[in-house]
Structure formats: C-alpha cells, structure tokens
Amino acid sequence: MTEKPTLEESGDILPILSVGEISNALKRTLEGAFPLIRVRGEITGFKRAPSGHFYFRLKDDDAVLDGVCWRGTAERLSLNPQDGMEVVATGRITAYAGRSTYQIVVDRMELAGEGALLKLLEERRRKLAEEGLFDLDKKRELPYLPKVIGVVSSPTGAVIRDILHRLDDRFPSHVLLWPVLVQGAAAADQIAAAIKGFNKLKPGGVVPKPDVLIVARGGGSLEDLMAFNEESVVRAAAASRIPLISAVGHETDTTLIDYAADVRAPTPTAAAEMAVPVRDDLLAQVANNGARLHAAIRRNLGDGRLQVRGLARGLPNLRRVIEDSSQRLDDWAERLGHGLHGGLGSRRARLAAAALPSPARRIDHAGALLVAEIRSLSKAGRRLVADHRTRLAHMGALLDSFSYERVLDRGFALVRDSGGVPVLSAAKIKAGMGLGIRFHDGEVAVTASGKLPAKSKKKKTTAPKGGGAQGSLL
C-alpha cells in the first residue's frame, strides 16, 4: 500500500498555478456544481448602477451571498427590488475574480410569498396616507363631457381596444394614448413619466391637453400589478392636476394608485363609461327637454293670452276716453285764452287808475336826511377826539408827577454803581468802589472812601434836684 506523501515530500512535485488560473478553476467548479439554483433571502445593500445593473446581497441568519442582475434581466423583473425585501432569486452561482468572491447571477426574482408582499404594500399605503396623498378633499370632479381623453396603457393588448370600443359606443371622443410598459422594472418610471407628461401639455398646443386621464391595465397576479404600487406612480397620480381614473386589473384587484386617483374604475371598460356619457341618451334627453320647453312656452303663452283677455274686459273704451279728454282739453284751452285776455285787461285798468307818486321828492328828502346825518356824525367824531386828547394829557401829567426825576428836583440824589444799577443800601458800598451820583441837573462820578465817622452826642446838663439852696418851685 502506497503511503500519501507528506507536504514536504510533495512540495516539489505540485504544479505552480497563477492567480488567474486558480480563479478560473474555482469559477468553473462553482458554475458546474450550481448551474441553476433558487435562493431565498433578504435584500440588503441594494444599489442601481448607472449602467442599469443591480448589485445587492442576499442574507439570512447564517450567511451573506453577493448578487448581481444584469440590465437586460432587470428590465424584465416583475418587482422593483428594495432593501429589506425578502425574495426568492433564481440564477447561477459564479465567482468574481476581481474580488475573490462568489455571487449569484439572478435571472428571475419574486417575493418570498404573497404575505410578505402584502405586508410591504400595507406599510407603503400607510406611509403615503400619512403624507395626505389619499385625502378625500383633494379628489377632483370628473368633467361631464371631456373633449380630449388621455390614456396611459400598453399600446398592445385588449385594454386599449376595449377602451376605444366603449368610447365609440357611448360618445366618440379624441383619445391620446401614451404607450408605456405595464409590467416589469421599467414600467413604474414610464407610467409616472406619462402622467407627468400629460400634465405638462399646454392648452391649445399642437398636442391638446387632456381633460381627463385613464391609467389602465388588464388583470394579473399581485406581482404583475406591482408597477402600479410603486411610490413614483402613486405620487404622480396624486399630484396630477388633470382628473385621473385608475382602471388597473379586475374589480377585485386593488393597487395603491386606486387610492391616489380621483376615481377608481373596476375595469378599463368601466373607466371609459365613467369618462363620457352616452351620446344617444344625451340626444334623447336634449330632444325631450326641447319638447318640454316648447310645450311649456306654448302653455305660458296661452295662459297669458287668456289673462290679457280677461283683464281687457274690465278696461274702459279707450277711444271714448281719448275723445272725452280731447273735448275737455279744447274747452279748457278756450277758457284759458279768454281768462288771460280778461285778466290782463283788468290789471292794466287798475294800474292806470292808481297814481304813483313821483320818486324825485322821496329822493330829495332822503338826500336831506343823509346830509344831516353826516353833519351830526362829524360833530360827534370831533368831540370824541377832543375828549380823548384831554384825558391823554391829564394822564401824561400824572405820570410825569410820579417820575423819579421830580424827586431829584426836590434835592434828592440817585446813587448807582459802575454798572448803572441803583445802590439802595450803604452796606453794599465798599471802599474804592466807583459810584455815580445823579442830581436833577446832571451826574457826578465819585469814589467811595469808606463809612463816615459817627457823630458825638452832647450830654445834657441837669439841674440839681434840690434846686439849690432856695429849693425848686416845681
């Protein structure tokens, strides 16, 4: 029996491989062992490359597996992968030599059970509802008779044909179709872009702006309708300024765009019925209304004619009324003429009989009175001026008598300091102080030398009380 050589013994006989050779060998081994597998795990680290490829990781409680989804496959996926989403990925295991890692190349991806998908949709619905995207007060009324209808749907399939057929049956209208994908990873972006594109159209432009929008798709599984549950589509529907009808799936299917739309239709055909009324019904209603209006007018005219005839019987004969009034007018005109001539004649006679006095005498008398009044007024004015002049002279003499100059005339003098301020007390005069003394005939400048010496008082001699030897007779 041959023994297995040790590492030291076999070290020289092992072939030497390059890094690339060992990486290729590992890659062939992995791809041969796992040509097609299904892996369940939670998506984490998801990112969308500018090239359109998806890079992510699938993890569970025990391990992490890198994953990649090429752009061509990503566009065909029935869901939009996100972090935290539990999915079942179908693909093949391969190795990436640039990082010495192994990964799964995804060919198909679906949610790991309908319960997980429903939980995801409920969380998204609650989030968007808290933002107010589903508020009822934001819903718009559909126009009664739209001229242009915009449809966002697939250009192929039975949906657009059902809508056009129902519109032709009810009320032929101008329809604008914005072709979009209604399934797959790129469907949500196209649907949102279509809704925004219709809203950006200008009224009266080359492409007319629709009066109402219909977002429609046929029935399918929950995964098939996932494009209409994406946030981008729901936000575009909620922000649409054009009233929007959602018609996605069958009557039992409910997507998030149904909550954001102004009106939800159970089917695309029902959406067409909501968009326009029945033309034949409108024509019948217009004809019926016209007939009723015509009958009402005839009835009102007949009633008015009967009422006028009844009122006419109570009116007097207009011709007789006019004739009587004309005759009365002629009589009054004749009487007015006679009365005018008679009145003028009588007043002329009274004026001639009344002798008016001549105004010359009254003018002369008034002139004499005016001259007398002028003479009296002149005398009174002169007397008043003389009285005031006398009073003024008397008051001037009295004022002059109270002047300090009259006091100076009686021998008094006015003492003022160098500033011209009168000095009223001897205590305010100091030695060497310049003073001015004003007399009645002029003013003299002096210099104070001090206070005058006090005068000596003479003692009175008193006789002896005894009166001498002879005594006193008193």
Residue 23, classed as helix, strand or coil, is: helix
CB 236 within 8 A of CB 260: no
Residues 6+ apart with CB under 8 A from 189: 232
Please name each of the domains of the chain with its CATH number: 15-112 (2.40.50.140), 120-280 (3.40.50.261), 408-447 (no CATH)
pLDDT in tens, 296-337: 999 999 999 998 888 888 777 778 888 888 888 888 888 888
Which secondary-structure segment (H or E) carries 342?
helix 318-353
CA–CA separation, 275 and 176 (whole Å): 14
Q: Which residues contact 174 (CB under 8 A, 6 or more apart)?
A: 147, 148, 149, 208
Q: H/E element holding 79?
A: none
Contact between residue 274 and residue 263 where contact means Cβ atoms under 8 Å apart: yes
Contact 278, 258 (CB under 8 A): no
Q: Report the candidate in 252, 173, 180, 264 with the shortest Cα–Cα distance to residue 220.
A: 252
Q: Which of 147, 84, 152, 150 is nearest to 119 (CA)?
A: 84
- 216 in helix, strand or coil? strand
Question: For residue range 89-98, what is the model confidence (pLDDT) as tens digits?
Answer: 999 998 888 8
Mean pLDDT of the chain: 84
Contact in structure between 247 and 268 (CB atoms under 8 Å): yes
* E strand intervals along 155-211: 174-179
Query: Rounded to whole angstroms, how far apart are CA atoms 435 and 422?
Result: 10
Considering the chain, what percentage of its residues have pLDDT values greater than 70? Answer: 91
pLDDT grade for 4, boundaries at 50, 70 and 90 = low
Q: Which residue has the higher pLDDT, 189 or 461?
A: 189
Per-residue pLDDT reduced to its tens digit, 109-126: 887 765 667 777 888 889
The residue with tokens 């001639």 is 352
**pLDDT at position 213 over 90:** yes
Res 318: pLDDT? 78
* Residue keyed to tokens 């981008």: 232
Phi, psi of 411 (to 5 degrees): 105, 0
Which residue carries 């699938």 as its tokens? 58
- Sign of the alpha-carbon dihedral angle for 247, 252, 258, 262: positive
- Decide: 160 and 153 in contact? Cβ < 8 Å: yes
Instruction: Give the pLDDT confidence of 238-269 residue by residue, as tens digits.
Output: 999 999 999 998 888 889 999 999 999 999 99
